[in-house]
Amino acid sequence: MSYILSKSGRKMPCPKNKFRVRLDSNRKCINDIKEINQWLIDQTIAECKSNNDDYNLCLFKDENVKNLPDGSIALMNLYLFGDADGVNLVIHEE
């Protein structure tokens, strides 16, 4: 099973596509991006709960994957990984 470590050291399971976006068609691309964004929302909420961080939980719990601004994505990456772009992720295998 693949996982990623959050900034706090919590193990997060990788999304099933492991951050790969298919470019075969516009619909596949949009669906893959939505799946990754939903994973990001879910993991950010789980991180807030594990840290007992009610303030940030209030910020993130109402995010909608259908209308997710770039600023929210950057803030969630910053909260989870300490990097607004989330580009330095290391996928671990068990």
Confidence check: pLDDT of 87 > 70: no
- Cα separation, 23 vs 46, whole angstroms: 30
The domains of the chain are located at 2-93
Among 94, 85, 89, 93, residue whose Cα is nearest residue 6: 89
The pLDDT tens digits for 1-11 are: 788 889 999 99
Q: Whole-structure pTM over 0.75, yes or no?
A: yes
State the chain's mean pLDDT as an integer: 90
